[in-house]
């Protein structure tokens, strides 16, 4: 009776501890699935809010104020006073810049434009990376050697310096041209990543079984290997988007971006050129800088989320 009672007590104690362990995991972890986790939700929410503000803001604010200089010059946001004693008004919630353009209109137009450059460049780079990476990893031999050689050579090229030279030669640059120039250096990293994963996966048991069952090369590549590569592809796409946005902002702050199209980097360049920092016009450079920081944080969290999806060990360590 004593042994049985002790066993029952130990069982009840073990059962009693289970709900407390589950509670300590937190509410977010109750949602954790291979395609849904905390970092991914928070990062996607940040990016969605930025893009939604750019889309919905056009319905409630006159975006023509981002192109026409009709507002008072150098107005601060409401509650602040500039160096000439002018107080900000709610007609311009984020103030105005040196030429009289409204800062809120510049942000509404510039944020989606800056994000669009990264998406186009990453999309083109990923498309080339998928084609070349699959070709190198699956075919092997001379094809693999050639693709590996050109990707290694491209990685060693100082891309930012080359882009600066090209952008300084081209007189008129639009968003698409800038994105395509950045994409010319955005394909080697996904190519090498996909090649390495394909080389590993094509030796796996399920691929060998597909070959023995008579499946075609196309079927093996896109029905057996591609689904297992999706987390890596999404993570690589987000990483490429971050790098492309950073490269575009770097070129724009040097004055080599689109001159007639509002972007966050172009707004910072105009602030630098007009010595906004020395003139204490913090709203001119501070607002686009903060928005870029939030954009990079959101992309970083999304990338971390996809890393957890691709690597189950990371997912277990966060639980």
First to last CA, the chain: 40
Mean pLDDT score, 240-247: 91
What is the reported pLDDT for 197? 84
| Closest listed residue to residue 257, CA positions, set 161, 170, 159, 187 | 170
pLDDT tens digits, residue range 256-297?
A: 888 788 999 999 999 999 888 888 889 999 999 999 999 999
Distance, in Å, from the CA atom of 206 to the CA atom of 212, rounded to the nearest integer, reads 10
| Closest listed residue to residue 110, CA positions, set 167, 163, 179, 51 | 51
What is the reported pLDDT for 312? 62
Instruction: Please tell us whether the domain made up of 38-317 is placed in CATH 3.40.309.10.
Output: no
Distance, in Å, from the CA atom of 311 to the CA atom of 173, rounded to the nearest integer, reads 40
| Closest listed residue to residue 172, CA positions, set 262, 245, 273, 256 | 256
What is the reported pLDDT for 55? 87
Among the ranges given (35-39, 162-166, 315-319), the one the predictor scored with the smallest mean pLDDT: 315-319
pLDDT tens digits, residue range 44-80?
A: 999 999 999 888 988 889 888 888 878 888 889 998 8
pLDDT tens digits, residue range 31-54?
A: 445 556 788 899 999 999 999 988
Domain boundaries, the chain: 38-317
N residues, the chain: 319
Q: How confident is the model at residue 81 (pLDDT cuts 50, 70, 90)?
A: confident
Distance, in Å, from the CA atom of 102 to the CA atom of 220, rounded to the nearest integer, reads 55
Of the two residues 10 and 138, the one the predictor is more confident about is 138
Among the ranges given (116-125, 154-163, 167-176, 187-196), the one the predictor scored with the smallest mean pLDDT: 167-176
Of the two residues 210 and 157, the one the predictor is more confident about is 157
What is the reported pLDDT for 288? 93
């Amino acid at each position: 009776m004593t042994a049985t009672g002790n066993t029952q007590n130990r069982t009840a104690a073990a059962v009693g501890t289970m709900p407390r362990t589950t509670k300590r995991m937190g509410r977010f972890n109750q949602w954790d699935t291979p395609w849904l986790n905390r970092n991914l939700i928070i990062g996607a929410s940040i990016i969605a809010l930025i893009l939604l503000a750019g889309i919905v803001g056009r319905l409630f604010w006159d975006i023509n104020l981002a192109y026409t200089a009709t507002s008072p010059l150098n107005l601060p946001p409401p509650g602040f006073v500039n160096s000439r004693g002018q107080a900000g008004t709610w007609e311009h919630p984020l103030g105005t810049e040196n030429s009289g353009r409204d800062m809120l209109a510049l942000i509404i137009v510039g944020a989606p434009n800056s994000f669009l450059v990264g998406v186009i460049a990453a999309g083109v780079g990923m498309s080339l990376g998928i084609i070349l990476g699959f070709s190198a990893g699956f075919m092997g031999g001379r094809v693999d050697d050639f693709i590996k050689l050109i990707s290694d050579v491209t990685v060693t090229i100082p891309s930012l310096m080359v882009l600066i030279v090209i952008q300084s030669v081209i007189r008129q640059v639009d968003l698409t041209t800038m994105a395509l120039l950045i994409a010319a250096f955005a394909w080697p990293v996904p190519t090498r990543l996909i090649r390495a994963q394909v080389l590993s996966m094509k030796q796996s048991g399920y691929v060998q079984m597909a070959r023995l069952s008579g499946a075609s090369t196309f079927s093996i590549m896109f029905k057996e290997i591609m689904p297992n590569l999706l987390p890596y592809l999404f993570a690589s796409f987000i990483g490429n988007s971050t790098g492309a946005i950073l490269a575009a902002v770097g070129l724009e702050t040097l004055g080599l971006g689109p001159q007639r199209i509002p972007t966050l980097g172009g707004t910072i360049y105009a602030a630098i050129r007009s010595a906004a920092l020395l003139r204490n016009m913090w709203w001119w450079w501070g607002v686009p800088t903060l928005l870029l920081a939030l954009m990079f944080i959101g992309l970083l969290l999304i990338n971390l989320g996809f890393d957890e999806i691709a690597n189950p060990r990371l997912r277990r360590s966060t639980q």
